[in-house]
Amino acid sequence: MSNVVVARRLAAGPATRVVADVADHEVWFEANLPLTLSPEVIASAFLLVTSHHRQGLDLDAPLSSRFRDNLTSLQEVVREFWSYQDVPLLEPPGGIPSMAGKTAPEFRGAALMFSGGVDSFYSLLRGPLAPAALVLVEGFDIPLTQPSRTEAAWASLQAVADHFGLRAVKVSTNLREHDLFRSVNWEVTHGGALAAVGHLLAAQYSHVIISSSYPYPEPTKPWGSHFRLDPHWSSDSLSVLHVGATHRRAAKLLAIADEPIVQRNLRVCWEGVTTQLNCGACEKCIRTLLVLQSVGRLEHFTTFATSESQLTDAVRALPYIKNRGSLANSYTRFVRANPSSTLGREVAALIERSKRHHRKRELMKSVAGRIVSRILY
């Protein structure tokens, strides 16, 4: 690989389709409103990718002063999370903007990145800033190759937007299919990708809201969208807000579980095994269903076609829980509240399977570590 990734905008907008060439491969964005392909879009999407590969990023236009100033703080967190070293971000000479943009832009409305999940619904209904628009991105959690799933999610978003009198924005992109971008784990890159979409919309909205995945009590977990990272993608024309980290996801769900608009439109599933909003069988669906079942709200949620017996079967079929935080919170709490029910016993058995799985992984890592140490030292 070259030491520098060259990025050049081919159709910079404003237009409903914008295109750039990054590392000799096109990346494009389309929307139902005009987009502006600023250098901040490319930098947000690709900086962590090039940092992963220890490559510089060569842009064709200067960054805003606020974005550039934020890079120091952003790269400090990136070094801590993933041990990435700082890489050069190259701009054309003679075009450095003035220092006037160091403060946040004047408020012109907020766009909420809206998947229809618990986190984004909580930001919409309980967040500190009321959005003017809801944004669905086709090509992120729903691949471009699954248009029927996009249609269902888009219809749901439109229903929510109409209910609150908000604008429904649909952005499509091949970013996750781009050869360079997809070489790095989405768990690292997704926050920058969401910020990139926010910069595309900066001519219409001065603020973009990204909903938290994890709460403040878990501040050290490396994750691409994080309260210590997201705000540092801000520029002279856009402020990126990270919202909802005051609550764990289960607490968010309980806070909005009685809202009819949520009951009709909640979408937590991302595995793509069905054209419906939720499959009811993947781990994320099961975790959500257990919370709703525990408070007697499951029957009200029409986006889940799952009975208690079907949920019991789904729990039985799940081999283990990957996320230890979920294991210690959602699943353990359900067993404590339902120790003698059939479902409660199946969840308890799932917890034991998961603990055995994690113990085995730790043992294998320790054995492999000792073997490697002996070989090297």
The structural domains of the chain, with segments of one domain joined by +, span 4-243, 268-361
Please report which helix (H) or strand (E) contains residue 47, including its range. Answer: helix 39-52
What phi and psi values does residue 155 have, to the nearest 5 degrees?
A: -60, -40
Contact 180, 210 (CB under 8 A): no
For residue 306, name the pLDDT band (cuts at 50, 70, 90): confident
Q: Which pLDDT belongs to residue 51?
A: 97
Please report which helix (H) or strand (E) contains residue 345, including its range. Answer: helix 342-376
Model confidence, pTM = 0.92
How do residues 82-109 score in pLDDT, each as one tens digit?
999 999 999 998 655 555 555 789 999 9
Q: Which pLDDT belongs to residue 1?
A: 45
- Residue 179: other Cβ atoms inside 10 A: 11
Mean pLDDT of the chain: 92
Q: What percent of the chain has pLDDT over 70?
A: 92
Chain centroid offset of residue 43 CA: 17
Rg (CA), the chain: 22
Contact 272, 105 (CB under 8 A): no
Q: In this structure, what is the dihedral angle of CA atoms 356, 362, 368, 372, given to the nearest 10 degrees?
A: 180
Measured over all CA atoms, what is the biggest interatomic distance in the chain, rounded to whole angstroms?
72
Which residues on neighbouring strands pair with residue 198, listed in sequence order? Answer: none
Q: Which pLDDT belongs to residue 366?
A: 78
Q: Which pLDDT belongs to residue 13?
A: 79
- For residue 241, give both structure tokens: 């807000």
Using the predicted structure, report yes or no on whether residue 373 has a pLDDT greater than 70.
no
Q: What percent of the chain has pLDDT over 90?
A: 82
Mean pLDDT of 165-179: 98
Of the two residues 373 and 312, the one the predictor is more confident about is 312
Of the candidates 239, 177, 207, 187, the residue with the CA atom closest to the CA atom of residue 48:
187
Using the predicted structure, report yes or no on whether residue 354 has a pLDDT greater than 90.
yes
How do residues 228-264 score in pLDDT, each as one tens digit?
999 999 999 999 999 999 999 999 999 999 999 999 9
